[in-house]
Structure 1
Amino acid sequence: MASHAARLLLLLALAAALAGRSDGAWCVCRTDLPDATLQRTLDYACGSAADCKPIQPNATCFAPDTVKAHCSYAVNSYYQRSGQNPLACVFSNTAVISSTDPSTNGCKYPASATPSAPGSPPPPMAQGPNGDLKDTSGGADVFPVAGAATRAVILACCSLLALYFIA
């Protein structure tokens, strides 16, 4: 019986470690779109709730000085300030959720939900430069969701194994 209890504790510790693991999630602008389209997205994000101070001249994330890089920083800031709500990465189909860290030398993209400044309203959801309500996931960039599902399956399997060892 003592060995069953030890196995159960080991399985529960493993399940707890897996369940507590966090996958990073970033919202980035699509690289296949023209700069003019991404500039509208950048302007929208910075005019809404994104913190765009780091992409101003001489700031930490100004380089590389490209519309694509600045757009990605802005939409990611907007997404993180929206609590990583997938609808906050719509932007009229100009951005996608990614599990790959877009940070570059000297520029760290936030990877966790950060609330807006105290007293300010939360960012609007499911809008973009044109007010469109489109799903941009395309099924390919849902790794953070898949990571949570994988952890749930592992937790369920560990629980079943624990029940097996108890019986």
Structure 2
Amino acid sequence: MTQIDLDVQLATECTHLPPLSQLEQWVTAALADSRACAELTIRVVSEAESAALNQQYRGIDRPTNILSFPFEVPPGIDADDPIQNLLGDLVICAEVVAREAQEQNKTLAAHWAHLIVHGVLHLRGYDHLDDSDAEAMEALETRLICALGFPPPYDAEL
């Protein structure tokens, strides 16, 4: 089992947030069989901060549900150095997540779980830039989300 060092930063006034125990469960599920130790930060932000970060890093002028910032190991770091445990940061906009859950007829917990798993998979190096990668990532997300007891994440969006 993966040992998780999870830092959660709350930078929003939104009150409908999952408890730390659920966040840890979802992160752990997304890291299964990938590493013994992992450190990451989840920052829950307002729509204004999400929009600013989305503009700065993706050139898109609107808030988004989640942004992932994988940690890049500096050159010359030994493979046994604890810095190798740093996975990166996830930035989640609680208001966007709540709005999307309602629009997609999902429970708030199911949508949060999906986005956490999705973001952690990005931190692990998965992507969906082309159809083949998207298919592989979505299949893994679906397997993980269903194992957590939620319905398949993409069925509601079709």
TM-score (norm 1): 0.25
TM-score (norm 2): 0.26
Q: Which has the larger radius of gyration?
A: 1
Q: Which has the higher strand share?
A: 2
